[in-house]
Structure 1
Amino acid sequence: NNTLSNKGYVTDDVEMLENIDNKIYTYGSSKGPYVPVRVGKSGINKSDLRYVKTVGEFDVMCRYTETVMANIGTSISKGEFPIAPYQLNKAIPCSYCDYKSVCRFDNQRNRYHYLTKLSEDEALQRMKDELNGNTKDTTGGEV
């Protein structure tokens, strides 16, 4: 059943994937219930490589997430909790938010945090840059 299958990134460590699901080699052309990529005797199926990250990439993503969460926690503890939803192209999260009546964001008075779409490689590079103390983007603006 696809509705219960895992989604997201997995490691490129096939031995670890086999530890997650010891039947990983038996699914053939299907994905198993625990690992969202197909694995054969020659490794991870080439068409599934877009879901695969190296141990180093996972480390960067985890450290970046921890940093962002710590910064948000520090801001909240200081009483800083700005109303600043994002806008990516024409998409805004307010359309799906259950707390619109509490937030009272008004696009006439408040400003969106405008995002630009990044490739996975660009996003990973920005994470690395920020972790290394470099917060300038390629246009010279702040990230």
Structure 2
Amino acid sequence: MASRPERCALVLRYESQRRELAVGLDTTLLDVRILAAHLFELALPTSSKELPWDLTYEDNEGDEVHLTNDMELQEAFTMPSLTIAVHMKRNLLEATINEHVLPAVQSSLATVADWFTQLSHDTPETTSVPRRRDRAESETESESDDEL
């Protein structure tokens, strides 16, 4: 008679949502990722690239542990009470652009816009632009013109 795999009480948490379930100790990290994606309607990658979210839990010493492989998950199953948190990864490039680059560009654009507004309100001084001489009036015509 085959023995039934042992089970572990697992809590998955994402933002304010919380799901409690029992999983077998033979559950893989991929299984947990698929469960989290299904329960919280998160995107799974279409290729082998990284997920846009992480799975973490707090160990007995209070350290946050990132689950990256099945061995770490098996270690997590030894916890008396296991809560795995789902965190959206922060896109560093997007965050840098939004926090630093865009505000600088926007303030520069505002400065340029103010400058153009000021220019349009200023009355230009009347200065005479020197008239350009026509070629026929030139005092220094080349001799090659006479040869034609």
TM-score (norm 2): 0.23
The structure having more radius of gyration, on CA atoms, is: 2
Larger helix share, 1 or 2: 1
TM-score (norm 1): 0.23
Larger strand share, 1 or 2: 2
